[in-house]
Structure 1
Amino acid sequence: MTSSPEEPQPRISEDDRDSAVRRLQHAYAEGDISYEDLDEHLHRVLSATSVRDIESALASLPADTSNAVISAAGGRLKRRGSWRVPRNLKVESAFGRVHLDLSRAVIEHPVIDIELALGTGRATITVPRDAIVNVDGLQAGWKDPVYRPHQQPRPGGPKIRISGTMGFGRLKVRHARH
């Protein structure tokens, strides 16, 4: 069964639209596009009704560097302090320990997707106090992730979606205390 071009495209979310606007603003601030191009692309993004419309509006921009992979077979993977969190982060560890501290990190995107591929190692993710965390996309082979959401999340915090697989590893997600 082939799809026809007339089939309706899935509608975009406000998070998708916000990310596209931020990407355009970043391209303008870096001098990659002129003010006139910014204005034209913003109009196209704000009037977009599908993902294809957004992709078309962003096609002429420099490559998106919002994806990253960090990996290690063994040992420790650690990110803390003031590090820039990409929109999509894949973390691979066969036997090692992973510690991601996002509490003081630079988070420029309203939604952060973290994909875990853990073997037998452990992972600890510290999120900002106002973050909203979703671990529904994570498949655990042995132990379920440990996460206790805040009773009343504050509006405006980043949304952090954690997905992927954990073999015999264990994940602990906690909110920063300050």
Structure 2
Amino acid sequence: MEANADSTSPHHHPARAMRASDRDRDAVARILQAAAGEGRITLEELEERLDRTYSARTYAELEPITADLPGGRVAPPSAGITPRRGAEAAQADTPLVIRAKAGTIARRGNWYVPRRVEVSNPYGQIRLDFRHATLLGDVIEIDLHAPWGQAKIILPEEATAQTEIDTSWLGSLDSEVPQVPAPPAPHFRISGNVKGGSVKVRYRRRVDDWTAWADWG
């Protein structure tokens, strides 16, 4: 019993001590309601667990409520988001500035991403893959300057992106990513200017859209 109590302690892992959101509590409530509908828990248990759900403050307090039920659990943010301390905190606050002209800018793999990224490449190609990046914030601002060029941005699964880009003078924006933030998933705010150019924002999916990744320098 002592080992079990230890495993649910909010101090067992730093991320589990994070505050849960209303969205997290609602997700747990849906799991409980589905379980009651399938006869896995009684109505009395449902009521008791819902009380615990809406009084829970951290992920560690939410986890045991659905630990014996199918349907998964509400997990603390971990994919791509790293706690910020010391040098990393300074790095998170320092914008990453990447500039070129008429060439190719590419970032992929495990690279550090501060809270603000400024990318400029008129008449060129911009390729940013955030799937395996270490994000130093849960909200990432991207300022994109690519007039008469092309930009493709791949986001981690379940990330969201708000786009406010000037696409006048024959420019285009093609985003298939939800705009409304959905914590604890990372959220991106993408702004800038691609007059006469194009921007695509996606999750990794269609091979025909991304076959050139291996060739980008």
Does TM, scored on the shorter chain, surpass 0.5?
yes
Amino acid at match of 1:121: G
Give the SS at the match of 2:158: coil
Aligned to 2:145: 117
Give the SS at the match of 2:85: helix
CA drift of 1:154 comes to 5.9
Amino acid at match of 1:85: V
Aligned to 1:138: 165
C-alpha separation in 2, matches of 1:63 and 1:134: 23
The structure with more radius of gyration: 2
1:79 to 104, 107, 113: 107
Check 1:121–1:102 CA distance in 2 against 1; reply closer, same or farther (3 A cut): same
Aligned to 1:26: 85
CA drift of 1:143 comes to 2.9
What is the Cα-based RMSD across aligned positions, in Å? 3.1
CA drift of 1:65 comes to 4.5
1:169 to 197, 204, 217: 197
CA drift of 1:147 comes to 0.7
Check 1:25–1:75 CA distance in 2 against 1; reply closer, same or farther (3 A cut): closer
C-alpha separation in 1, matches of 2:90 and 2:151: 33
**Which aligned runs of 4 or more in structure 1 are off by greater than 2 angstroms?**
61-66, 149-155
Length-normalised TM-score, structure 2: 0.51
C-alpha separation in 1, matches of 2:112 and 2:146: 22
Give the SS at the match of 1:149: coil
Q: Give CA-to-partner distance per residue, 1:88-129, whole Å, 9 cap, x none.
A: 101101111000000111112010000011121100000001
C-alpha separation in 2, matches of 1:159 and 1:64: 15
- The answer to whether the aligner puts 1:127 opposite 2:159 as a matched pair is no
Point out where structure 1 has 5 or more consecutive residues left out of the alignment. Answer: 1-21, 31-60
CA drift of 1:161 comes to 0.5
Which structure ranks higher in relative contact order (CA pairs < 8 Å, sequence separation ≥ 6)? 1
Give the SS at the match of 1:145: strand
Aligned to 2:128: 100
Amino acid at match of 2:135: I
